[in-house]
Structure 1
Amino acid sequence: MERFLGLAIKLLSCRSRRSGEQRNQLSPGALLPMPHNAFISYAHADEKRLERLHKHLAMLRRDGSLQAWSDHAIIPGDNVGQTISAALEQSSLFIALVSPDYLASNYCYEKEFQRALALQAEGRLRIVAVILEPCDWLNSPFSQILVLPKDGKPVSDWTNENTAYLNAVEGVRRALMVSPSPAPEAAVGAAGMSPTGSGRRVRVKQQFDAIQRAEYAEQAFRTLQTYFQDACAELHEASDQIRARFESMGPNAFTCTVVNRALMRNGEAHITVRHARGGRTRVGDISYVYQPHADDGSSNGWMNVQADDYNLFLNAVIGHLGMDREEKVTPEQAAERLWNSFVTKAGIEYE
Protein backbone atom coordinates (compact mmCIF):
# COMPACT_ATOMS: atom_id res chain seq x y z
CA MET A 1 0.00 0.00 0.00
CA GLU A 2 2.86 2.37 0.85
CA ARG A 3 4.43 1.63 -2.58
CA PHE A 4 1.21 2.61 -4.38
CA LEU A 5 0.77 5.69 -2.20
CA GLY A 6 4.36 6.76 -2.88
CA LEU A 7 3.88 6.25 -6.62
CA ALA A 8 0.66 8.32 -6.57
CA ILE A 9 2.40 11.15 -4.72
CA LYS A 10 5.27 11.04 -7.24
CA LEU A 11 2.86 11.19 -10.20
CA LEU A 12 0.98 14.09 -8.66
CA SER A 13 4.27 15.89 -8.03
CA CYS A 14 5.38 15.41 -11.65
CA ARG A 15 1.97 16.53 -12.91
CA SER A 16 2.15 19.59 -10.66
CA ARG A 17 5.60 20.49 -11.97
CA ARG A 18 4.44 20.12 -15.59
CA SER A 19 1.39 22.25 -14.84
CA GLY A 20 3.62 24.90 -13.28
CA GLU A 21 5.93 24.82 -16.29
CA GLN A 22 2.98 25.31 -18.62
CA ARG A 23 1.74 28.22 -16.53
CA ASN A 24 5.20 29.78 -16.67
CA GLN A 25 5.30 29.34 -20.44
CA LEU A 26 1.96 31.06 -20.82
CA SER A 27 2.47 33.73 -18.19
CA PRO A 28 2.73 37.38 -19.25
CA GLY A 29 6.33 37.48 -18.09
CA ALA A 30 7.45 34.57 -20.25
CA LEU A 31 9.84 35.30 -23.08
CA LEU A 32 7.30 34.68 -25.84
CA PRO A 33 6.68 36.97 -28.80
CA MET A 34 3.71 39.28 -28.46
CA PRO A 35 1.10 38.36 -31.07
CA HIS A 36 0.03 40.98 -33.57
CA ASN A 37 -3.59 41.99 -33.17
CA ALA A 38 -5.36 41.70 -36.50
CA PHE A 39 -8.75 43.33 -37.05
CA ILE A 40 -10.73 41.43 -39.70
CA SER A 41 -13.22 43.67 -41.49
CA TYR A 42 -15.87 41.85 -43.50
CA ALA A 43 -19.46 42.07 -44.70
CA HIS A 44 -21.82 39.63 -42.99
CA ALA A 45 -22.80 38.25 -46.39
CA ASP A 46 -19.23 36.88 -46.58
CA GLU A 47 -19.35 35.13 -43.22
CA LYS A 48 -18.67 31.65 -44.64
CA ARG A 49 -15.48 32.89 -46.27
CA LEU A 50 -14.46 34.53 -43.00
CA GLU A 51 -14.80 31.14 -41.30
CA ARG A 52 -12.63 29.55 -43.99
CA LEU A 53 -9.96 32.22 -43.57
CA HIS A 54 -9.95 31.68 -39.80
CA LYS A 55 -9.12 28.01 -40.37
CA HIS A 56 -6.22 28.89 -42.65
CA LEU A 57 -4.90 31.32 -40.02
CA ALA A 58 -4.70 28.52 -37.45
CA MET A 59 -0.92 28.04 -37.63
CA LEU A 60 -0.27 31.76 -37.20
CA ARG A 61 -2.39 31.67 -34.05
CA ARG A 62 -0.68 28.54 -32.75
CA ASP A 63 2.83 29.88 -33.18
CA GLY A 64 1.87 33.05 -31.32
CA SER A 65 2.26 35.39 -34.30
CA LEU A 66 -1.34 36.51 -34.66
CA GLN A 67 -4.44 37.21 -32.61
CA ALA A 68 -7.28 37.70 -35.07
CA TRP A 69 -10.32 39.73 -34.02
CA SER A 70 -13.71 39.96 -35.73
CA ASP A 71 -17.09 41.06 -34.44
CA HIS A 72 -17.80 37.48 -33.35
CA ALA A 73 -15.85 38.41 -30.20
CA ILE A 74 -18.58 40.84 -29.17
CA ILE A 75 -20.71 39.39 -26.37
CA PRO A 76 -24.22 40.31 -25.24
CA GLY A 77 -24.20 43.51 -23.22
CA ASP A 78 -21.18 45.05 -24.98
CA ASN A 79 -21.48 48.45 -26.60
CA VAL A 80 -21.04 47.34 -30.21
CA GLY A 81 -19.64 50.59 -31.62
CA GLN A 82 -17.19 51.16 -28.76
CA THR A 83 -15.97 47.56 -28.77
CA ILE A 84 -15.32 47.60 -32.53
CA SER A 85 -13.58 50.96 -32.30
CA ALA A 86 -11.36 49.83 -29.40
CA ALA A 87 -10.37 46.62 -31.18
CA LEU A 88 -9.46 48.56 -34.33
CA GLU A 89 -7.42 51.14 -32.42
CA GLN A 90 -5.39 48.38 -30.74
CA SER A 91 -4.62 46.44 -33.93
CA SER A 92 -1.41 46.52 -35.94
CA LEU A 93 -2.96 44.73 -38.92
CA PHE A 94 -6.26 45.42 -40.71
CA ILE A 95 -7.46 42.55 -42.92
CA ALA A 96 -10.26 43.60 -45.26
CA LEU A 97 -12.26 40.86 -47.00
CA VAL A 98 -13.19 42.75 -50.15
CA SER A 99 -16.30 41.85 -52.13
CA PRO A 100 -19.25 43.68 -53.71
CA ASP A 101 -21.01 43.44 -50.36
CA TYR A 102 -18.01 44.94 -48.57
CA LEU A 103 -17.75 47.91 -50.93
CA ALA A 104 -21.50 48.48 -50.60
CA SER A 105 -21.43 48.34 -46.79
CA ASN A 106 -21.60 51.76 -45.17
CA TYR A 107 -20.21 50.43 -41.90
CA CYS A 108 -17.35 48.30 -43.31
CA TYR A 109 -16.20 50.70 -46.00
CA GLU A 110 -17.19 54.11 -44.65
CA LYS A 111 -16.32 53.57 -40.98
CA GLU A 112 -13.92 50.68 -40.41
CA PHE A 113 -11.88 51.04 -43.60
CA GLN A 114 -11.72 54.84 -43.48
CA ARG A 115 -10.48 54.72 -39.89
CA ALA A 116 -7.92 52.09 -40.91
CA LEU A 117 -6.65 54.42 -43.64
CA ALA A 118 -6.14 57.16 -41.05
CA LEU A 119 -4.27 54.79 -38.70
CA GLN A 120 -2.10 53.60 -41.58
CA ALA A 121 -1.21 57.21 -42.42
CA GLU A 122 -0.06 57.61 -38.81
CA GLY A 123 2.16 54.52 -39.11
CA ARG A 124 0.14 52.63 -36.51
CA LEU A 125 -1.39 49.95 -38.71
CA ARG A 126 -0.90 48.05 -41.97
CA ILE A 127 -3.82 47.32 -44.31
CA VAL A 128 -4.03 43.95 -46.05
CA ALA A 129 -6.84 43.33 -48.54
CA VAL A 130 -8.06 39.87 -49.56
CA ILE A 131 -10.19 40.04 -52.71
CA LEU A 132 -13.00 37.52 -52.30
CA GLU A 133 -15.05 38.14 -55.45
CA PRO A 134 -14.81 40.26 -58.64
CA CYS A 135 -15.75 43.80 -57.69
CA ASP A 136 -14.85 47.44 -58.38
CA TRP A 137 -11.93 47.55 -55.93
CA LEU A 138 -9.58 49.07 -58.53
CA ASN A 139 -11.55 52.32 -58.23
CA SER A 140 -11.07 52.39 -54.46
CA PRO A 141 -8.04 53.11 -52.23
CA PHE A 142 -7.36 49.36 -52.26
CA SER A 143 -5.87 49.91 -55.73
CA GLN A 144 -2.92 51.69 -54.08
CA ILE A 145 -1.74 48.62 -52.16
CA LEU A 146 -0.54 45.15 -53.08
CA VAL A 147 -3.63 43.00 -52.52
CA LEU A 148 -4.08 39.28 -51.95
CA PRO A 149 -4.27 36.64 -53.34
CA LYS A 150 -1.50 37.21 -55.87
CA ASP A 151 -2.20 39.88 -58.48
CA GLY A 152 -5.65 40.52 -57.03
CA LYS A 153 -7.16 37.35 -58.51
CA PRO A 154 -10.39 36.90 -56.50
CA VAL A 155 -10.67 33.84 -54.28
CA SER A 156 -13.83 32.81 -56.13
CA ASP A 157 -11.91 32.63 -59.44
CA TRP A 158 -9.38 30.06 -58.22
CA THR A 159 -9.92 26.43 -59.18
CA ASN A 160 -9.18 25.43 -55.59
CA GLU A 161 -10.14 28.13 -53.11
CA ASN A 162 -7.90 26.57 -50.45
CA THR A 163 -4.93 27.45 -52.65
CA ALA A 164 -6.14 31.04 -52.78
CA TYR A 165 -6.49 31.22 -48.99
CA LEU A 166 -3.06 29.66 -48.52
CA ASN A 167 -1.57 32.30 -50.83
CA ALA A 168 -3.36 35.00 -48.82
CA VAL A 169 -2.13 33.62 -45.50
CA GLU A 170 1.44 33.55 -46.79
CA GLY A 171 1.00 37.23 -47.63
CA VAL A 172 -0.34 37.92 -44.13
CA ARG A 173 2.69 36.15 -42.66
CA ARG A 174 5.01 38.40 -44.68
CA ALA A 175 3.03 41.48 -43.65
CA LEU A 176 3.52 40.60 -39.98
CA MET A 177 7.28 40.91 -40.49
CA VAL A 178 6.96 44.63 -41.22
CA SER A 179 3.79 45.60 -39.34
CA PRO A 180 4.10 47.94 -36.34
CA SER A 181 5.35 45.88 -33.42
CA PRO A 182 2.75 45.12 -30.74
CA ALA A 183 3.55 46.49 -27.30
CA PRO A 184 2.56 44.80 -24.02
CA GLU A 185 0.77 47.97 -22.93
CA ALA A 186 -1.47 47.71 -25.99
CA ALA A 187 -2.69 44.18 -25.35
CA VAL A 188 -6.34 43.71 -26.21
CA GLY A 189 -8.70 41.99 -23.79
CA ALA A 190 -11.45 39.53 -24.62
CA ALA A 191 -13.81 42.32 -25.64
CA GLY A 192 -11.10 44.17 -27.55
CA MET A 193 -10.55 46.90 -24.93
CA SER A 194 -7.11 48.12 -23.81
CA PRO A 195 -6.27 47.94 -20.07
CA THR A 196 -6.64 51.71 -19.73
CA GLY A 197 -9.47 52.06 -22.22
CA SER A 198 -7.61 55.00 -23.77
CA GLY A 199 -7.24 53.47 -27.25
CA ARG A 200 -3.67 54.82 -27.46
CA ARG A 201 -0.86 52.72 -28.91
CA VAL A 202 2.59 52.74 -27.38
CA ARG A 203 5.68 52.54 -29.58
CA VAL A 204 8.82 51.40 -27.78
CA LYS A 205 12.26 52.30 -29.07
CA GLN A 206 14.61 49.37 -29.43
CA GLN A 207 17.91 48.32 -30.89
CA PHE A 208 18.16 45.40 -33.30
CA ASP A 209 21.02 42.98 -32.89
CA ALA A 210 22.94 41.07 -35.57
CA ILE A 211 20.73 37.99 -35.27
CA GLN A 212 17.53 39.97 -35.80
CA ARG A 213 19.01 41.70 -38.84
CA ALA A 214 20.20 38.38 -40.28
CA GLU A 215 16.78 36.79 -39.76
CA TYR A 216 15.09 39.77 -41.43
CA ALA A 217 17.46 39.52 -44.41
CA GLU A 218 16.69 35.81 -44.73
CA GLN A 219 12.93 36.43 -44.57
CA ALA A 220 13.25 39.25 -47.12
CA PHE A 221 15.07 36.91 -49.51
CA ARG A 222 12.32 34.28 -49.05
CA THR A 223 9.74 36.96 -49.86
CA LEU A 224 11.55 37.81 -53.10
CA GLN A 225 11.95 34.13 -53.93
CA THR A 226 8.23 33.40 -53.42
CA TYR A 227 7.19 36.49 -55.36
CA PHE A 228 9.38 35.62 -58.36
CA GLN A 229 8.32 31.98 -58.36
CA ASP A 230 4.61 32.88 -58.29
CA ALA A 231 5.00 35.68 -60.84
CA CYS A 232 6.91 33.37 -63.20
CA ALA A 233 4.17 30.75 -63.03
CA GLU A 234 1.47 33.31 -63.76
CA LEU A 235 3.40 35.04 -66.54
CA HIS A 236 4.05 31.69 -68.21
CA GLU A 237 0.29 31.18 -68.49
CA ALA A 238 -0.55 34.76 -69.49
CA SER A 239 0.21 34.41 -73.21
CA ASP A 240 1.35 31.85 -75.77
CA GLN A 241 4.04 34.35 -76.76
CA ILE A 242 5.59 34.49 -73.28
CA ARG A 243 7.65 31.85 -71.54
CA ALA A 244 8.94 32.20 -67.98
CA ARG A 245 11.15 29.88 -65.94
CA PHE A 246 12.08 30.00 -62.26
CA GLU A 247 14.97 27.88 -60.98
CA SER A 248 16.35 27.53 -57.48
CA MET A 249 20.13 27.63 -57.19
CA GLY A 250 20.21 26.33 -53.63
CA PRO A 251 19.08 27.84 -50.33
CA ASN A 252 20.61 31.27 -51.01
CA ALA A 253 20.04 32.00 -54.71
CA PHE A 254 17.60 31.67 -57.57
CA THR A 255 17.52 32.59 -61.24
CA CYS A 256 14.70 33.50 -63.63
CA THR A 257 14.41 33.73 -67.41
CA VAL A 258 11.59 35.38 -69.36
CA VAL A 259 11.26 35.08 -73.14
CA ASN A 260 8.94 37.34 -75.11
CA ARG A 261 8.58 35.59 -78.48
CA ALA A 262 6.67 38.55 -79.92
CA LEU A 263 9.96 40.47 -80.14
CA MET A 264 12.53 39.46 -82.71
CA ARG A 265 15.28 41.14 -80.73
CA ASN A 266 15.69 42.03 -77.06
CA GLY A 267 12.94 39.60 -76.14
CA GLU A 268 14.83 37.85 -73.36
CA ALA A 269 15.46 38.81 -69.75
CA HIS A 270 17.55 37.03 -67.14
CA ILE A 271 18.20 37.64 -63.47
CA THR A 272 20.03 35.98 -60.59
CA VAL A 273 19.19 36.99 -57.00
CA ARG A 274 21.38 36.05 -54.04
CA HIS A 275 21.13 36.23 -50.28
CA ALA A 276 24.59 37.02 -48.91
CA ARG A 277 25.69 35.27 -45.74
CA GLY A 278 29.04 36.93 -45.22
CA GLY A 279 32.25 36.06 -47.03
CA ARG A 280 34.82 38.01 -48.98
CA THR A 281 32.63 38.44 -52.07
CA ARG A 282 29.62 39.72 -50.12
CA VAL A 283 27.74 42.46 -51.99
CA GLY A 284 24.87 43.76 -49.86
CA ASP A 285 22.48 41.58 -47.90
CA ILE A 286 20.58 40.77 -51.11
CA SER A 287 22.10 41.31 -54.55
CA TYR A 288 20.88 40.87 -58.11
CA VAL A 289 22.43 40.73 -61.55
CA TYR A 290 20.69 40.58 -64.93
CA GLN A 291 22.39 37.35 -65.98
CA PRO A 292 21.38 33.67 -65.79
CA HIS A 293 23.14 31.54 -63.16
CA ALA A 294 25.52 34.38 -62.38
CA ASP A 295 28.56 33.75 -60.21
CA ASP A 296 28.66 34.99 -56.64
CA GLY A 297 30.15 38.47 -56.41
CA SER A 298 28.76 39.92 -59.65
CA SER A 299 26.02 42.49 -59.23
CA ASN A 300 23.94 45.16 -60.94
CA GLY A 301 22.46 46.27 -57.63
CA TRP A 302 21.93 45.34 -54.02
CA MET A 303 19.92 46.14 -50.90
CA ASN A 304 20.77 46.11 -47.22
CA VAL A 305 18.83 45.62 -43.99
CA GLN A 306 18.62 48.82 -41.96
CA ALA A 307 16.70 49.90 -38.87
CA ASP A 308 15.25 53.01 -37.32
CA ASP A 309 14.28 53.27 -33.66
CA TYR A 310 11.23 51.04 -34.15
CA ASN A 311 11.43 48.77 -37.23
CA LEU A 312 13.68 46.88 -39.60
CA PHE A 313 13.45 47.59 -43.33
CA LEU A 314 15.39 47.46 -46.60
CA ASN A 315 17.13 50.45 -48.12
CA ALA A 316 20.31 51.54 -49.89
CA VAL A 317 19.02 49.83 -53.01
CA ILE A 318 21.56 50.42 -55.75
CA GLY A 319 20.54 50.06 -59.37
CA HIS A 320 17.73 51.33 -61.55
CA LEU A 321 14.62 50.53 -59.52
CA GLY A 322 13.44 54.10 -59.09
CA MET A 323 14.21 54.03 -55.38
CA ASP A 324 15.95 56.60 -53.24
CA ARG A 325 18.86 55.44 -51.10
CA GLU A 326 17.12 56.82 -48.01
CA GLU A 327 13.75 55.21 -48.77
CA LYS A 328 12.48 52.62 -46.29
CA VAL A 329 11.32 49.65 -48.34
CA THR A 330 9.43 46.54 -47.29
CA PRO A 331 10.43 43.16 -48.76
CA GLU A 332 7.13 43.10 -50.68
CA GLN A 333 7.84 46.49 -52.25
CA ALA A 334 11.38 45.46 -53.14
CA ALA A 335 10.11 42.24 -54.74
CA GLU A 336 7.54 44.04 -56.87
CA ARG A 337 9.95 46.72 -58.08
CA LEU A 338 12.72 44.26 -58.86
CA TRP A 339 10.32 42.00 -60.79
CA ASN A 340 8.96 44.93 -62.81
CA SER A 341 12.49 46.08 -63.63
CA PHE A 342 13.41 42.55 -64.68
CA VAL A 343 10.46 41.85 -67.04
CA THR A 344 10.73 45.31 -68.61
CA LYS A 345 13.97 44.10 -70.20
CA ALA A 346 11.90 41.58 -72.16
CA GLY A 347 9.40 44.23 -73.30
CA ILE A 348 6.77 43.35 -70.71
CA GLU A 349 4.99 45.86 -68.49
CA TYR A 350 2.02 45.77 -66.12
CA GLU A 351 -0.88 48.20 -66.43
Structure 2
Amino acid sequence: MGDRNRLFISYSHDDTKWLQAITEQLAVLQAEGLVSLCDDSKLRVGEGWFEQLHEMMLSARLGLLLISAPFLSSEFVRRQEIPRLFDRHEEGGMKIYPLLVEPCPWENVAWLARLQLRPQDAKRRAKALSTFQGAARKQKIADVANEIAAMVKQ
Protein backbone atom coordinates (compact mmCIF):
# COMPACT_ATOMS: atom_id res chain seq x y z
CA MET A 1 0.00 0.00 0.00
CA GLY A 2 2.79 2.46 0.84
CA ASP A 3 1.90 6.09 1.48
CA ARG A 4 -0.66 6.25 -1.31
CA ASN A 5 -3.51 5.90 1.16
CA ARG A 6 -1.96 7.57 4.19
CA LEU A 7 -4.60 9.13 6.43
CA PHE A 8 -3.35 11.97 8.63
CA ILE A 9 -5.49 12.76 11.68
CA SER A 10 -5.35 16.33 12.97
CA TYR A 11 -6.78 16.81 16.46
CA SER A 12 -6.41 18.66 19.74
CA HIS A 13 -4.79 16.70 22.55
CA ASP A 14 -7.92 17.61 24.55
CA ASP A 15 -9.78 15.28 22.16
CA THR A 16 -7.65 12.17 22.65
CA LYS A 17 -10.73 10.13 23.60
CA TRP A 18 -12.21 10.92 20.17
CA LEU A 19 -8.94 10.01 18.47
CA GLN A 20 -9.05 6.63 20.20
CA ALA A 21 -12.71 5.99 19.33
CA ILE A 22 -12.15 6.86 15.68
CA THR A 23 -8.87 4.99 15.25
CA GLU A 24 -10.55 1.90 16.71
CA GLN A 25 -12.86 1.85 13.67
CA LEU A 26 -10.22 3.02 11.20
CA ALA A 27 -7.89 0.24 12.38
CA VAL A 28 -10.19 -2.18 10.54
CA LEU A 29 -9.45 -0.30 7.29
CA GLN A 30 -5.75 -0.36 8.10
CA ALA A 31 -5.85 -4.12 8.75
CA GLU A 32 -7.49 -4.55 5.33
CA GLY A 33 -4.75 -2.51 3.66
CA LEU A 34 -7.04 0.37 2.71
CA VAL A 35 -5.36 3.11 4.76
CA SER A 36 -2.22 3.78 6.72
CA LEU A 37 -3.03 5.82 9.83
CA CYS A 38 -0.76 8.56 11.10
CA ASP A 39 -1.06 11.24 13.75
CA ASP A 40 1.29 12.85 16.23
CA SER A 41 1.11 9.84 18.56
CA LYS A 42 3.24 8.02 15.94
CA LEU A 43 6.19 10.42 16.32
CA ARG A 44 9.49 8.77 17.16
CA VAL A 45 11.49 9.71 20.24
CA GLY A 46 14.75 11.56 19.72
CA GLU A 47 13.96 12.93 16.26
CA GLY A 48 12.64 16.31 15.18
CA TRP A 49 8.92 16.07 15.86
CA PHE A 50 8.04 19.10 13.73
CA GLU A 51 9.81 17.69 10.67
CA GLN A 52 8.22 14.27 11.19
CA LEU A 53 4.76 15.79 11.53
CA HIS A 54 5.30 17.92 8.43
CA GLU A 55 6.37 14.83 6.45
CA MET A 56 3.26 12.94 7.60
CA MET A 57 1.05 15.78 6.36
CA LEU A 58 2.88 16.13 3.04
CA SER A 59 2.66 12.43 2.25
CA ALA A 60 -0.99 11.95 3.26
CA ARG A 61 -3.78 11.46 0.76
CA LEU A 62 -6.52 12.13 3.31
CA GLY A 63 -6.73 14.60 6.17
CA LEU A 64 -9.21 13.81 8.94
CA LEU A 65 -9.92 16.85 11.11
CA LEU A 66 -11.45 16.23 14.55
CA ILE A 67 -13.37 19.48 15.00
CA SER A 68 -13.96 20.86 18.50
CA ALA A 69 -13.47 24.19 20.30
CA PRO A 70 -9.98 23.16 21.54
CA PHE A 71 -9.05 22.16 17.96
CA LEU A 72 -10.29 25.43 16.48
CA SER A 73 -8.60 27.55 19.14
CA SER A 74 -5.23 25.76 19.02
CA GLU A 75 -2.54 28.10 17.70
CA PHE A 76 -0.50 25.15 16.41
CA VAL A 77 -3.47 23.72 14.51
CA ARG A 78 -4.42 27.12 13.09
CA ARG A 79 -0.92 28.26 12.12
CA GLN A 80 0.83 25.01 11.22
CA GLU A 81 -1.47 22.09 10.45
CA ILE A 82 -4.45 23.68 8.72
CA PRO A 83 -2.41 25.77 6.24
CA ARG A 84 -0.29 22.76 5.28
CA LEU A 85 -3.27 20.44 4.92
CA PHE A 86 -5.23 22.95 2.85
CA ASP A 87 -2.20 23.65 0.66
CA ARG A 88 -2.09 19.91 -0.09
CA HIS A 89 -5.85 19.93 -0.67
CA GLU A 90 -5.64 22.88 -3.10
CA GLU A 91 -2.86 21.13 -5.03
CA GLY A 92 -5.24 18.21 -5.50
CA GLY A 93 -3.12 15.79 -3.51
CA MET A 94 -5.31 15.49 -0.43
CA LYS A 95 -8.97 15.16 0.46
CA ILE A 96 -10.12 16.85 3.67
CA TYR A 97 -12.66 15.11 5.91
CA PRO A 98 -13.94 17.40 8.71
CA LEU A 99 -15.53 15.45 11.56
CA LEU A 100 -17.42 17.39 14.23
CA VAL A 101 -16.68 15.66 17.53
CA GLU A 102 -17.93 18.31 19.99
CA PRO A 103 -20.38 21.20 19.59
CA CYS A 104 -18.55 24.44 18.83
CA PRO A 105 -19.06 27.60 16.73
CA TRP A 106 -17.43 26.07 13.64
CA GLU A 107 -19.78 27.98 11.30
CA ASN A 108 -17.84 31.16 12.19
CA VAL A 109 -14.52 29.77 10.94
CA ALA A 110 -14.23 30.85 7.30
CA TRP A 111 -12.12 27.95 6.00
CA LEU A 112 -14.39 25.42 7.71
CA ALA A 113 -17.82 26.93 7.04
CA ARG A 114 -17.51 26.17 3.32
CA LEU A 115 -17.02 22.42 3.90
CA GLN A 116 -19.54 19.63 4.48
CA LEU A 117 -18.98 18.31 8.00
CA ARG A 118 -19.79 14.84 9.27
CA PRO A 119 -21.76 13.40 10.94
CA GLN A 120 -25.08 14.85 9.85
CA ASP A 121 -28.61 14.65 11.15
CA ALA A 122 -31.68 13.65 9.10
CA LYS A 123 -31.83 17.19 7.63
CA ARG A 124 -28.18 16.95 6.49
CA ARG A 125 -26.96 19.44 9.10
CA ALA A 126 -23.73 18.83 10.97
CA LYS A 127 -24.31 17.25 14.37
CA ALA A 128 -21.47 16.53 16.81
CA LEU A 129 -20.54 12.94 17.61
CA SER A 130 -20.79 13.74 21.31
CA THR A 131 -24.55 14.31 20.94
CA PHE A 132 -25.05 10.66 19.97
CA GLN A 133 -25.05 7.96 22.66
CA GLY A 134 -24.17 4.28 22.83
CA ALA A 135 -24.78 2.21 19.71
CA ALA A 136 -25.88 5.28 17.73
CA ARG A 137 -22.49 6.92 18.34
CA LYS A 138 -20.62 3.74 17.38
CA GLN A 139 -22.71 3.53 14.20
CA LYS A 140 -21.87 7.13 13.28
CA ILE A 141 -18.16 6.42 13.75
CA ALA A 142 -18.47 3.22 11.69
CA ASP A 143 -20.23 5.30 9.01
CA VAL A 144 -17.23 7.65 8.99
CA ALA A 145 -14.88 4.70 8.48
CA ASN A 146 -17.06 3.36 5.66
CA GLU A 147 -17.17 6.76 3.96
CA ILE A 148 -13.37 7.06 4.22
CA ALA A 149 -13.02 3.56 2.74
CA ALA A 150 -15.21 4.62 -0.18
CA MET A 151 -13.08 7.75 -0.70
CA VAL A 152 -9.90 5.68 -0.80
CA LYS A 153 -11.36 3.23 -3.29
CA GLN A 154 -12.27 6.00 -5.76
Identity rate, percent: 22
Q: How does 1:36-115 map to 2 (within 5 A)?
A: 36-115=5-84
Partner of 2:86: 117
The 5-angstrom pairing of residues 25-44 of structure 1 reads 33-34=1-2, 36-44=5-13
**What residue number does 2:140 align with?**
164
Question: Deviation string for 1:176-220 (max 9, x for gaps)?
Answer: 234xxxxxxxxxxxxxxxxxxxxxxxxxxxxxxxxxxxxxxxxxx
**Greater share of residues in helix:** 2
Distance 2:146 2:106 in 1: 21
Distance (whole Å) between structure 2 residues aligned to residue 129 and residue 171 of structure 1: 12
Moved more, 147-156 or 120-129: 147-156
Corresponding residue of 2:150: 174
Which structure is larger by alpha-carbon Rg, 1 or 2?
Answer: 1
* Length, aligned pairs only: 146
Q: Does structure 2 conserve the Cα–Cα contact (< 8 Å) formed by 1:100 and 1:136?
A: yes
Q: Alignment RMSD, CA only?
A: 1.4
Which amino acid letter does the alignment assign opposite residue 144 of structure 1? Answer: R
Q: Structure 1 counterpart of 2:118, which letter?
A: L
Query: Are residues 1:152 and 2:126 paired?
Result: yes
**Larger RCO, structure (CA 8 Å, separation 6 or more):** 2
What is the deviation of 1:79?
A: 0.3
| Distance in 1, Cα, partners of 2:9 & 2:25 | 14
- Give the match's secondary structure for 2:77: helix
Q: How many Å apart are 1:131 and its aligned residue?
A: 0.4
User: Structure 2: which amino acid aligns with 1:68?
Assistant: L
Q: Are the counterparts in 2 of residues 148 and 171 from structure 1 also a CA contact under 8 Å?
A: no
Deviations 1:140-185 (A, max 9, x none): 222222221123210001133212211221221222234xxxxxxx
Gaps of 5+ in 2: none
| Partner in structure 2 of residue 208 of structure 1 | none
Q: Distance in 1 between matches of 2:146 and 2:117?
A: 12
Larger strand proportion of the pair: 1
Return the alpha-carbon distance in structure 2 between the equivalents of residues 174 and 43 of structure 1.
26
Deviation string, structure 1 residues 5-25 (Cα, Å, up to 9, x no partner): xxxxxxxxxxxxxxxxxxxxx
| Superposed counterparts of 1:175-194, under 5 Å | 175-178=151-154
Residue in 2 aligned with 1:205?
A: none
SS in 2 for 1:57: helix
- Would you identify which runs of 4 or more consecutive aligned residues in structure 1 move more than 6 Å? none
Distance (whole Å) between structure 2 residues aligned to residue 50 and residue 168 of structure 1: 13
CA contact (8 A) 1:133 1:156 kept: yes
How do 1:281-300 and structure 2 match up within 5 A? none
Distance between the aligned counterparts of 2:101 and 2:51, measured in 1?
Answer: 28
Of 139-148 and 96-105, more deviation after overlay is shown by: 139-148
TM-score (norm 2): 0.88
Match of 2:113 in 1: 143
The offset of 1:55, in angstroms, is 0.5
Give the CA deviation at 1:51: 0.8
TM-score (norm 1): 0.40
Secondary structure of 2:92's aligned partner: coil
Query: What runs of 5+ residues in structure 1 fail to find an aligned partner?
Result: 1-32, 179-351
How far residue 115 of structure 1 moved from its aligned partner, in angstroms, is 1.2
Amino acid at match of 2:23: H
